[in-house]
């Protein structure tokens, strides 16, 4: 594939796979070297001319000579600029009044047919939907989704505007042009396209365009808002009608990612433009490394998202692909809807047939030219050991461990259990170099992900299923078999399962906010692709207009599309109300009616999937919502150590009576009106948490009762345990008392569910030690 598709790599390539961050701006010791720095100055003043003058004045106060140092100005949603500065100049600017933070321009990297049908079938409660709820390409809404990614392939059938009405009059964006992108490439569906060239000129000329040369941006846009396209497939796999979560919504793309990564200064510029353009929802399938995360005030996504949410825009972001490690979730600010990745009920299997005709289940994408008959000699890696190799490395098929004379013309079985050093693709290259004709890799490291090995007969077999394969190899002196080309297996169970790569909580930003928020399909997702990718085309085939890839990048647009659908049906709802509706309507059971599990088979917890797996109809009518307002976010800034002066600069305006509490501590974060609850019990015997819910149902007069699912050893009481709503009482509050009977030895999970017989409103909680 073209571009940076490292999100497809397995766990031990997490540093590449998961949206890395790097300053990439030279030596920190060279204080005179000019680098691009971002100067963040909080909320924007209403007078843009003043802002520009303010930026110039700050620069002139530190620059030693008259020079044009500004690279980008931020003036719509927030104030600030990116400029070429020395380290000394950057430090000087950081001391100026009104400057929140100054930091080097970071480089971030990039972290369907069946998925939407599966989500629909998994919906927990059937509710009569409002008229015209079912989306189709023959209707259009005025909801605008903005996507920050690698650009767009506008010719894809997914972005046809047939049946769409005029572009919403409130749209203020533009369709930027280049040598390969005309204004006519935008239409009534794809209404805007922008790109942000690298200020250091590191972009290839082919990247100075909104056109997608990677495929990632086209894939996520298609997943979110693709119009219905029949007979979509990846060379016959996953065949069906491709349709996004909100095919009636409009699309605006902001190309911020290029061959050298995603510049933080470009991401902020895109946020700034999107706010001014008039988008309703923003979707970002990118982020930073868990181990290299910046402070909140230096996090470009958190900064941009804060100001977008201030203006009513819901921001949906990928949780990251650094799982299954704990504390690996990113994009975890409370104003972001953070998405984990799960499977759907479709598997892509490439099985091994043994000489006994026994079939061993394998998972991969390959278009094997081998016969279906088990007629090819097979050899175990350790039996093909080279003279100077040891049995351990040969068993695992490490470099220089195999004897070509023993491998040539054979299918090689390699043991990949507890072998994070070499991925399957690397072992394919080792086997091919030794003359092997196929690879059966026994490994659990890739979980449910089917990686694409094109024409080479390679498949991954779980350690459980690998037992039968090894028993057969050891039972005969002449083992034979074959590797079958991939087939689509529908109605696969269990599903959903949390993907092995999906980043996990708890959040390192705050243990008093549960992250991720929600899970959505992100494993083996088929969606539109760029039309000129010749990098992984099976012999004799043309480039596919669709591709199957995995990552929280793929899960994020599923949620973004759902957000657009909820916004279409409930245009007056706030961003936090929509977020709440999606979270409180999530499910926690799979298609076997059992609790959702992880790829390793363990029962999933809220650290894996947040509130659970999204459903598609219940968020349209959730009954009650938790509205997290601006004051909640201002309090959050106070509780995380920011003083009132900084909070005012960041937010621009605060209520007259607002002040940071004198006893601001991180423990108070638990009282932010969030749809989930997280409590840290360090040094405390019990904790009381408050929440407020708003009745958004058509029924004004209704009573909700609380049901508590408490972990063993913890007393949990909801007061009051009944909420009676009337026409004059749309908002009601309650408290939850958490009292462990003994000191917590591990993190515990439970839930509080409000129901009136028609609506079920569930909030998970986590109690941390």
| DSSP-assigned states of every residue in 727-766 | SS--EEEEEEEEEESS--SS-EEEEEEEE-SS-EEEEEEE
Q: Indicate if the alpha-carbon torsion angle 665, 671, 675, 678 is positive or negative.
A: positive
**By C-alpha distance, which of 658, 522, 681 is closest to 112?**
522
CA distance 338 to 302: 12
Burial class from Cβ neighbours inside 10 Å (0-12, 13-18, 19+) for residue 12 reads middle
Cα separation, 20 vs 10, in Å, equals 15
* CB 183, CB 177: distance < 8 Å: yes
- In the chain, % of residues over pLDDT 70: 90
In 3-state terms the chain splits into helix, strand, coil percentages (rounded to 5) of 25, 25, 50
Position 58 scores a pLDDT of: 84
Statement: residue 683 has pLDDT above 90: no
* pLDDT band of 117, cuts 50, 70, 90: low
Q: Residues with catalytic annotation?
A: 149, 216, 553
Q: How far is CA 246 from CA 188, 224, 714, 733, in A?
A: 15, 6, 42, 33
For 764, the token pair is 């998970």
Cα–Cα distance, 174 to 197 (Å, whole number): 16
What is the SS3 assignment for 12?
A: helix
Consecutive H or E run containing 438: strand 438-442
Closest among 333, 286, 323, 336 to 604, alpha carbons compared: 323
Nearest Cα neighbor of 537 from 367, 404, 324 is 367
The architecture (CATH level 2) of 627-768 comes to Sandwich (2.60)
**Under 8 Å CB-to-CB from 42, ≥6 apart: which residues?**
78, 79, 80, 98, 100, 648, 649, 650, 651, 652
pLDDT at 119: 61
pLDDT score of 135: 38
Q: Which of 597, 288, 425 is nearest to 8 (CA)?
A: 425
pLDDT > 80? residue 111: no
Q: Domain 24-105 carries which CATH code?
A: 3.30.70.80
Instruction: Decide: residue 483, CB within 10 A, 0-12 exposed, 13-18 middle, 19+ buried.
Output: buried
SS3 22: strand
Flag whether pLDDT at 60 surpasses 90: no
Contact by Cβ (8 Å): 449, 550: yes
For residues 20 and 92, which has the higher predicted lDDT (pLDDT)? 92
Q: Which CATH number applies to 116-343+496-620?
A: 3.40.50.200
Alpha-carbon span 101 to 89, nearest angstrom: 13
Residue 64 scores a pLDDT above 90: no
What is the DSSP pairing of strand 314-318 with strand 487-490? unpaired
**Which tens digits make up the pLDDT trace of 719-759?**
999 999 999 999 999 999 999 988 888 999 999 999 999 99
Q: Name, in order, each residue with C-beta under 8 angstroms of 438's C-beta and a sequence gap of 6 or more.
A: 368, 370, 376, 410, 411, 412, 431, 456, 457, 458, 482, 483
pLDDT digits (tens, 9 = 90+) for 166-219: 999 999 999 999 999 999 999 999 999 999 988 776 666 667 899 999 999 999
Highest mean pLDDT among 15-29, 61-75, 459-473: 459-473
pLDDT (0 to 100) of residue 5: 38
Say what the pLDDT of residue 138 is. 46
- CA dist 67 to 84, 101, 146, Å? 10, 22, 35
What band does 394 get if pLDDT is binned at 50, 70 and 90?
Answer: very high
Q: pLDDT tens digits, residue range 604-630?
A: 999 999 999 999 989 999 999 999 999
Confidence of residue 504 (pLDDT cuts 50, 70, 90): very high
Mean pLDDT value of segment 124-133: 34
Q: Is the pLDDT of residue 19 over 70?
A: no
pLDDT of residue 134: 39
Angle of helix 552-569 relative to helix 216-225, nearest 10 degrees, comes to 30
- Peptide bond just before 222 cis, omega within 30 deg: no
pLDDT at 185: 97
Q: For residue 79, what pLDDT band results from cuts at 50, 70 and 90?
A: very high
pLDDT of residue 115: 54
Domain ranges of the chain: 24-105, 116-343+496-620, 346-488, 627-768
Q: What is the mean pLDDT of residues 492-499?
A: 96
Core vs surface per residue 224-245: b (16+ CB within 10 A) or e: bbbbbbeebbbbebbbbebbbb
- pLDDT of amino acid 121: 58
Residue 61's pLDDT band (cuts 50, 70, 90): confident
Task: Tell whether the model's pLDDT for residue 11 goes beyond 70.
Answer: no
What is this structure's pTM? Answer: 0.92
Which pair of structure tokens corresponds to residue 550?
């995995």
Fold of the domain built from segment(s) 346-488: Glucose Oxidase; domain 1 (3.50.30)
- CA proximity to 486, closest of 370, 375, 397, 374: 370
> pLDDT tens-digit profile of 513-523?
999 999 999 99
User: CA–CA distance from 188 to each of 79, 141, 253, 527 (Å)?
Assistant: 31, 11, 13, 21
Question: What average pLDDT does the chain have?
Answer: 89
66-93: average pLDDT: 88
Statement: residue 286 has pLDDT above 90: yes
Taking only Cα atoms into account, the Rg of the chain, rounded to an integer number of angstroms, comes to 27
How would you class 65 by CB atoms within 10 Å of its CB: exposed for 0-12, middle for 13-18, buried for 19 or more?
Answer: exposed
For tokens 């099985």, the residue is 351
Say what the pLDDT of residue 718 is: 98
pLDDT band at 23 (very low <50, low <70, confident <90, very high): very low
pLDDT for 2: 44
First to last CA, the chain: 45
Q: Alpha carbon 341 to chain centroid distance?
A: 7
How far apart CA 275 and CA 297 sit, in angstroms, is 19
Residue 143 to residue 508: CA distance in whole angstroms? 34
More confident residue, 346 or 58: 346
Q: Is the pLDDT of residue 276 over 50?
A: yes
The pLDDT > 90 percentage for the chain reads 79
């Amino acid at each position: 594939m073209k571009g940076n598709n490292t999100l497809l790599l397995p766990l031990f390539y997490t540093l590449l796979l998961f949206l890395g961050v790097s300053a990439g701006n030279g030596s920190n010791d060279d204080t005179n070297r000019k680098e691009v720095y971002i100067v963040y100055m909080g909320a924007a003043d209403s007078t843009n001319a003043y802002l520009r003058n303010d930026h110039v004045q700050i620069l002139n106060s530190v620059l030693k000579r008259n020079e044009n140092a500004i690279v980008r100005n931020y003036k719509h949603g927030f104030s600030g600029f990116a400029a070429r500065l020395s380290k000394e100049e950057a430090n000087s600017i950081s001391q100026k009044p009104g400057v929140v933070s100054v930091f080097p321009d970071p480089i971030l990297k990039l972290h369907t047919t069946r998925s939407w049908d599966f989500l629909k079938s998994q919906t927990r409660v059937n509710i009569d939907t409002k008229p015209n709820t079912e989306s189709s390409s023959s209707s259009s809404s005025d909801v605008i989704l903005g996507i920050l990614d690698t650009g767009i392939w506008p010719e894809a059938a997914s972005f046809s505007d047939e049946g769409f009405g005029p572009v919403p009059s409130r749209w203020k964006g533009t369709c930027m042009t280049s040598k390969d992108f005309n204004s006519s490439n935008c239409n009534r569906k794809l209404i805007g396209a922008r790109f942000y060239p690298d200020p250091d000129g590191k972009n290839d000329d082919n990247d100075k365009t909104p056109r997608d040369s990677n495929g990632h941006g086209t894939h996520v846009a298609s997943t979110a808002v693709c119009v219905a396209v029949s007979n979509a497939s990846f060379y016959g796999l996953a065949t069906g009608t491709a349709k996004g979560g909100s095919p009636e919504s409009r699309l605006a793309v902001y190309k911020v990612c290029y061959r050298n990564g995603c510049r933080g200064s470009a991401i902020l510029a895109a946020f700034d433009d999107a706010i001014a353009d008039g988008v309703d929802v923003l979707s970002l399938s990118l982020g930073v490394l868990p181990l290299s995360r910046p402070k909140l005030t230096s996090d470009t996504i958190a900064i941009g998202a804060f100001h977008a949410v201030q203006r009513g825009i819901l921001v949906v972001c990928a949780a990251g692909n650094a799982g299954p490690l704990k504390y690996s979730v990113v994009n975890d600010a409370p104003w972001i809807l953070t998405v984990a990745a799960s499977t759907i009920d479709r598997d892509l299997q490439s099985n091994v047939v043994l000489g006994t005709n026994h079939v061993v289940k394998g998972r991969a994408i390959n278009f094997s030219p081998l016969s279906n008959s088990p007629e090819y000699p097979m050899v175990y890696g350790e039996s093909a050991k080279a003279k100077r190799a040891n049995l351990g490395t040969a068993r695992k098929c490490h470099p220089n461990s195999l004897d070509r004379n023993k491998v040539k013309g054979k299918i090689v079985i390699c043991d990949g259990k507890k072998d994070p050093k070499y991925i399957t693709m690397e072992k394919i290259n080792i086997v091919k170099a030794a003359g092997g004709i196929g690879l059966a890799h026994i490994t659990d490291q890739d979980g449910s992900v089917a990686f694409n090995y094109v024409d080479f007969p390679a498949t991954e077999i779980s350690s459980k299923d690998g037992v039968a394969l090894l028993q057969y190899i050891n039972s005969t002196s002449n083992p034979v078999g074959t590797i079958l080309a991939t087939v689509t297996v529908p109605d696969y169970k269990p599903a959903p399962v949390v993907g092995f790569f999906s980043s996990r909580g708890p959040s390192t930003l705050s243990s008093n906010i549960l992250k991720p928020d929600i899970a959505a399909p992100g494993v083996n997702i088929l969606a539109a692709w760029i039309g000129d990718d010749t990098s992984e085309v099976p012999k004799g085939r043309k480039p596919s207009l669709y591709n199957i890839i995995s990552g929280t990048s793929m899960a994020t647009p599923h949620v973004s599309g759902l957000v657009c659908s909820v916004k279409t049906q409930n245009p007056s709802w706030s961003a936090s109300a929509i977020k709440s509706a999606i979270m409180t309507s999530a499910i926690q059971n799979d298609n076997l009616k059992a609790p959702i599990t992880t790829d390793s088979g363990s029962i999933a917890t809220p650290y894996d999937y947040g509130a659970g797996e999204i459903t598609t109809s219940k968020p349209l009518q959730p009954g009650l919502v938790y509205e997290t307002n601006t004051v909640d976010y201002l309090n959050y800034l106070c509780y995380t150590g920011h003083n009132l002066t900084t909070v005012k600069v960041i937010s621009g305006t605060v209520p007259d009576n607002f002040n940071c509490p004198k006893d601001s501590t991180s423990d108070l974060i638990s009282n932010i009106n969030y749809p989930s609850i997280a409590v840290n019990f360090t040094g405390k015997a019990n904790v009381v948490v408050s929440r407020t819910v708003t009745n958004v149902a058509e029924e004004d007069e209704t009573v909700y009762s609380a049901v508590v699912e408490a972990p063993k050893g913890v007393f949990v009481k909801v007061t009051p345990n009944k909420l009676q709503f009337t026409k004059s009482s749309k908002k009601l509050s309650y408290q939850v008392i958490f009292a462990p009977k003994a000191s917590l030895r591990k993190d515990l999970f439970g839930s509080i569910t409000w129901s009136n017989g028609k609506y079920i409103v569930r909030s998970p909680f986590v109690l941390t030690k």
